[in-house]
Amino acid sequence: MQEITKKQRNYYREPTWFKTIKYTLLVLFSLFFLFPIYALVINSVMPYEQIQGMRSLWPEYFEFSTYTKVFTDGGFKIVFSGTFPFVKIVLSGYIRYLFNTILVCILNISGVCIASSLTAYAISKLDFWGKNFVFACIMGMVLLPSTILSIPLYIIYSKLGWVGTLYPLWVPMWFGGGTMNIFLVRQFMKGIPKSYSEAASLDGANSFQVFVRIILPLVKPILIYLAVTGFFGNWNDFSGPLMYVRDEEKNWTLSLALYMIFGTDSLGTGTEKYMNNQMAVGVMMMIPCVILFAFFQKTIMEGISVIGVKG
């Protein structure tokens, strides 16, 4: 307590000019890193003639039609048919891309949380022959760059007939949950006293019941951390959809649609007028991540700090 008081005392003893310079530099650095976000938002409501001319950093007038275009270029309709299922909902345009993105995020996050927690529970809490060897093999996958695995994985998915579908984007996460995710959950579980599991076993609970009723509620912070970071990764994923579903427009995600519709047109074909629409879609893709991080910021920080202490 005396050490904290001493630091506070030294802080208040700092000269006014020193604190002024320090905070001025911090503000300037903040503006430097926030400028790309500002440019993204401003260009999304700027007329394309002004963007093409690059005349200013403030729009002459606000072009909000760039945002309405996202919704007017797509939608859904209900189709009645004589075969099962008798009612179908057909999605198109950006509504379809948004649905695909949300579907991939939900399935991927569910697979990561379930598979990684089960794998980490087996490695950290159960006793079986070769446990350490299995964990060493799992961690050995970190040494393999993802670029090396991309061609073999593409061949496997092509043999399975999954190229052009969304299966390669979420099915693998249901088989283990990812090397680093397993490692993080295992490190978290190592901090849970073994007496909890032993007490539940003495009461007649089997291993699965111990996992569901004892271990799973205690590892909720790290699972929330994996879910939030997993959402960020899948929401903004571009290389995966580009590799596996590029030729199937109905399975495009938002990031891939942003590139295929606007990105390719703005690279040399003279259609710079689409740049403001591209920026508008970028802003709309950024909003869910900002909201999610704002709500779960405290939980994410607590999960990281607990991992550092218990690891």
Give me the domains of the chain, ranges plus CATH numbers: 2-65 (no CATH), 91-310 (1.10.3720.10)
The pTM score is 0.78
CB atoms within 10 A of CB 256: 25
| pLDDT, tens digit (0-9, with 9 covering 90-100), for 30-54 | 888 888 888 888 888 887 777 766 6
pLDDT tens by residue, 98-148: 888 999 999 999 999 999 999 988 888 888 888 888 888 888 888 888 788
